[in-house]
Amino acid sequence: MRIELQNIHKHYGMIKANNGVNLTIEPGTIHGILGENGAGKSTLMKILAGFCNQTSGTILLDKKAVTYLNPAQASTYGIGMLYQDPFDFPLLTVLDNFMTGLAHGLKNKKKRFKKLFLEYSKNLKFHLNLDTQVKNLTIGERQQLEIIRLLALGIQVLILDEPTTGISSIQKEVLFTALIKLASEGRSIILVSHKLEDVEALCHSVTVLRQGKVSGKMNAPFNTEKLLKMMFETLPASPSRLKNIPGKKIIHLDGISVKGGRTGLKDCTIKIRQKEIVGLAGLEGSGQGVFLRAAAGLTNPYRGRIHVQDSELSGMDYRIYRDRGISFLPGSRLEEGLITGLSITEHYALKKKHGEFFVKWRNVEKNSARGIDLFRIKGSIESQVEELSGGNQQRLLLSLLPPDPLLLLLENPTRGLDMESMLWVWEHLQRYCESDTGIVFSSSELDEILMFADRVLVFFNGRIIKNLKTDQTDIHTLGRAIAGKN
């Protein structure tokens, strides 16, 4: 089936996730969609799969304009999507999962579906035990199950969203072989990825998105340099980086491995010093969040040691890290950072040292008013945090940080902020470093890391694969590293 997307727009309020995208995919090909986080790839694919509707624009299937309202309708047109976390029923067996949505009526059709399943898996060289419960499968195996289920539904267009994140290299090979096979049978495969390596290995053609628009197209064989240029906009590096000389060691992570997130964190050894600003780069969910939480003492590593200054804190409670001056600022503001239903003043009351029985509301209100003034938060002391805009929520979170921390661990501190707010935040953060604080922050913007960090750690699949001084690297080297290339 030939797919044409014409002038697709998708707006969420002021944000234009897709801003006039044109895309053509020929039948029997594997087409890659490349782009940074937030470039609009996932939105575009969700529109194609019927998961959400475009604001404007047309979808043509074999030159006929179609509209559908949900994924079920999309699948009747032969379009199916494999999500990052496949939707399945963990407690059912593989066979029962396969039959869900396919088998109708009261008759027991297990035998027939068993045969059907085995045919598909033989064709694709998948090896799945039909009687295993799905909760015992790896992500790679769940993907295989979902692919077979989609094929049995009769889909002709298969969309895969970051399919190689979190699966082993052997499973990746099996998956790629299967995809090539499916394309050779005349199906269209769309592969959404950050990873150049995967796209180059598999795709016949590639479309690159940047800020909701198509920034370039290319057919195989690919030129890596050109693709990187299409993916990352280059901004002139700002001179505003501090030239502090790092001081004494603050924290030493010694070979720690931590569970959590999509990838966990494996074998991480790193030292952070005073006055140092360290940026964490990598695809979202490559281990940066786990790293920050482990360094903050929120999750305990199952292997390795953590030293803070001269004492070992491995396995100790988060509050001990906190008392030592380690502050963590989570990326999801309303989920982990702030408490909905509580006012700004109540947040200031939470920040204060515990121990007293009564809250001294008058003092807290004074502090809160001072904070609002100092951090230019648009809101009053009575405002509930969910009434604030994202930028003001971030300012509030920053204003709640202690005045003289040892180490600040910031998860995406400027995400969703406009340029002016971002610069304001950094001005504020740099002031910390003048007084011996170390800062570690994650960001999906390489420009930001190059602009403000002294050192950059690149995460890939739960490992730190690069540890570079920012003045000894550039956006292309980092872009390559992020995509898993050396």
Partner 1 sequence: MTDYYRTIKEIIFALVIVFTFTTLVLLAAGAPPFEAYYHIFKGALGSWIRFSHVIKTWIPLTLCACGLLYTFRINLWNIGIEGQMMMGAVFTTACLRFGLESPVQPLFLWFSFAAGITGGAIWAFGAGFLKTKGGVNEIFAGLGLNFVAQGIILWLIFGPWKRPGVASMSGTEIFPHTMWLPHLTSIRLSPVGLGLVTLALVITALMLRYTRIGLYLKAIGNNPNAARIFGIKRAKYMLIAMLFAGGFAGLAGSLQVTGVYHRLLPAISSNYGYLALLVVMLANYNIWLAPFIAFFFACLNVGSIQLPMVLQLDSSLSGVIQGSLVLAALAVHAWRTFRKDNSHRGIE
**Across the strands, what pairs with 192?**
33, 161
Nearer to partner 1, 259 or 319 (CB): 319
State residue 26 phi and psi, 5-degree precision: -80, 150
Closest contact distance (angstroms) between CB of 367 and partner 1 is 15
Nearer to partner 1, 240 or 363 (CB): 363
Closest contact distance (angstroms) between CB of 44 and partner 1 is 21
| Closest C-alpha among 456, 420, 422, 459 to residue 439 | 456
Is there a contact between 377 and 392 (Cβ–Cβ < 8 Å)?
yes
In whole angstroms, what separates CA 111 from the centre of its chain? 41
Nearer to partner 1, 228 or 344 (CB): 344
92: helix, strand or coil: coil
The set of residues, in sequence order, having a beta carbon less than 8 Å from that of 228 and lying 6+ positions away, is 196, 476, 479, 480
Structure tokens at 461: 């699949």
Is there a contact between 101 and 146 (Cβ–Cβ < 8 Å)?
no
- The DSSP result for 57-72, as a single string, is EEEEETTEEE--SSHH
Nearer to partner 1, 200 or 346 (CB): 346
Nearer to partner 1, 283 or 306 (CB): 306
| Residue whose entry in the numeric block shows the structure tokens 């008759």 | 107
| Residue whose entry in the numeric block shows the structure tokens 């694919």 | 45
Closest contact distance (angstroms) between CB of 165 and partner 1 is 24
Closest contact distance (angstroms) between CB of 286 and partner 1 is 22
Closest contact distance (angstroms) between CB of 403 and partner 1 is 16
- Distance CA(40)–CA(231), nearest Å, equals 12
Closest contact distance (angstroms) between CB of 341 and partner 1 is 4
Closest contact distance (angstroms) between CB of 465 and partner 1 is 29
- The DSSP result for 157-219, as a single string, is EEEEESTTTT--HHHHHHHHHHHHHHHHTT-EEEEEES-HHHHHHH-SEEEEEETTEEEEEEE
Q: Would you tell me which residues interact with partner 1 (CB under 8 A)? A: 298, 318-319, 322, 328, 330, 335-342, 346, 349-351, 354, 356-359, 361, 386-387
Nearer to partner 1, 50 or 337 (CB): 337
- The DSSP result for 42-56, as a single string, is HHHHHHHTTSS--SE
Nearer to partner 1, 217 or 351 (CB): 351
Closest contact distance (angstroms) between CB of 358 and partner 1 is 5
Nearer to partner 1, 133 or 389 (CB): 389
Nearer to partner 1, 221 or 358 (CB): 358
In whole angstroms, what separates CA 388 from the centre of its chain? 24
Closest contact distance (angstroms) between CB of 355 and partner 1 is 8
Closest contact distance (angstroms) between CB of 380 and partner 1 is 16
Closest contact distance (angstroms) between CB of 114 and partner 1 is 38
Nearer to partner 1, 104 or 354 (CB): 354
Question: Which DSSP letter does residue 265 get?
Answer: E
Nearer to partner 1, 204 or 351 (CB): 351
- Distance CA(5)–CA(28), nearest Å, equals 17
- Distance CA(219)–CA(203), nearest Å, equals 8
Is there a contact between 235 and 211 (Cβ–Cβ < 8 Å)?
no
Burial of 455 (0-12, 13-18, 19+ CB in 10 A): buried
Is there a contact between 55 and 10 (Cβ–Cβ < 8 Å)?
yes
